């Protein structure tokens, strides 16, 4: 903390000094810095140093020109690490679901094998009669399912309906002020064309439905809309999509590979654009994505 105070006092003092004296001091300090760089291969970096350069990266556009002791990518990595640590501390307050015992898992499997026509709700009811508190998702996870006849693969579906399909997906971007911004992408499958994108801090079903409507202002909407099972796609969204004559195709739970074109575009945006900068707010992210898409 004292280093930051000394730096601010030095900045105030330099405002009242002559330009020649200030330039001579800069030359002298740079010469001494060059000597230290020859003698010290890796200088120790403190938390205050990281805070100072994270603040300069947000406030000063020429910070890369004067940075010497580390690479600019290191400063951006510090900012991302601060964001991860902040949300990791908040998430540690929540306790997870208790683990299921081995006897409980075996009992669920035995019941499902003995009664193959029982679904998860009935098995759950029988377990609760025995005083075993489990969730329905736990029963779905461990029960044995009868084998179903093979059906066409997901890849065959995508190839068959590629000209009449669009993909819809969200991804998150951390902002400098510890905010999480949500980016919506509407992607046409046939030409991998971004039909629409938008940024918001609080996505709702009504806002998402309006983005889909604005993605097809002058032409008929395609037949299939591929999306995941996120809770943001509520009744308002489903009603507006049905009004456009589109049929929703839902991917399986925890299966992002079933929406490959949208996931690959999101990965390209992260690797080629967003991983190399610190996003300030919604308007900044919207301008950056507009330049990238164009």
pLDDT per residue as tens digits for the range 181-209: 999 999 998 889 999 999 999 999 999 99
- CB of 169 closer than 8 Å to CB of 186: no
Which stretch of 82-96, 99-113, 217-231 has the lowest confidence by average pLDDT?
Answer: 82-96
Q: Which pLDDT does position 130 carry in this prediction?
A: 85
Please indicate whether residue 7 or residue 48 has the higher confidence score (pLDDT).
48
Place of tokens 């690959």: 264
Return mean pLDDT, the chain. Answer: 84
In the three-class reduction of DSSP (H, G, I as helix; E, B as strand; rest coil), residue 179 is classed as: coil
Both tokens of residue 51? Answer: 């805070």
Q: Which pLDDT does position 218 carry in this prediction?
A: 77
Q: Which pLDDT does position 273 carry in this prediction?
A: 95
pLDDT at 221 over 60: yes
CATH architecture of 154-293: 2-Layer Sandwich (3.30)
Q: How far apart are CA 73 and CA 57, in angstroms?
A: 11
Q: Which pLDDT does position 290 carry in this prediction?
A: 96
- CB of 289 closer than 8 Å to CB of 199: yes
Which stretch of 84-98, 126-140, 167-181 has the lowest confidence by average pLDDT?
Answer: 84-98
pLDDT at 60 over 60: yes
Q: What are phi and psi of 193, to 5 degrees?
A: -105, 130
pLDDT per residue as tens digits for the range 244-280: 999 999 999 889 999 999 999 999 999 999 999 999 9
Please give the model's pTM, rounded to 2 decimal places: 0.52
pLDDT above 90 covers a percentage of the chain that reads 39
When pLDDT is cut at 50, 70 and 90, the band that residue 58 belongs to is confident
């Amino acid at each position: 903390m004292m280093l930051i105070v000394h730096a601010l006092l030095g900045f105030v003092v330099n405002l009242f000094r002559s330009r020649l004296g200030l330039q001579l001091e800069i030359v002298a300090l740079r010469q001494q810095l060059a000597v230290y760089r020859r003698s010290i291969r890796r200088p120790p970096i403190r938390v205050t140093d990281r805070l100072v350069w994270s603040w300069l990266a947000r406030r000063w556009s020429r910070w890369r020109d004067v940075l010497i002791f580390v690479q600019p990518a290191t400063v951006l990595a510090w900012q991302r690490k601060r964001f991860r640590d902040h949300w990791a501390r908040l998430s540690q307050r929540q306790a997870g679901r208790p683990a299921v015992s081995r006897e409980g898992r075996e009992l669920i499997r035995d019941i499902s094998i003995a009664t193959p026509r029982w679904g998860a709700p009935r098995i759950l009811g029988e377990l609760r009669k025995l005083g075993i508190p489990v969730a329905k998702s736990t029963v779905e996870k461990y029960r044995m399912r009868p084998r179903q006849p093979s059906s066409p693969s997901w890849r065959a579906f995508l190839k068959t309906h590629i000209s009449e399909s669009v993909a819809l997906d969200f991804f998150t971007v951390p902002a400098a002020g510890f905010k999480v911004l949500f980016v919506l992408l509407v992607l046409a499958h046939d030409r991998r064309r971004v039909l629409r994108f938008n940024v918001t801090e609080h996505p709702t079903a009504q806002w998402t439905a309006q983005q889909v409507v604005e993605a097809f202002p002058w032409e008929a909407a395609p037949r299939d809309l591929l999306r995941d099972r996120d809770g943001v796609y509520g009744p308002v969204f489903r009603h507006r999509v049905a009004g456009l004559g589109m049929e929703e195709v839902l991917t399986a739970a925890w299966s992002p590979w079933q929406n490959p074109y949208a996931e690959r575009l999101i990965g390209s945006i992260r690797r080629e654009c967003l991983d190399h900068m610190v996003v300030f707010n919604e308007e900044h992210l919207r301008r950056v994505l507009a330049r990238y898409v164009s």
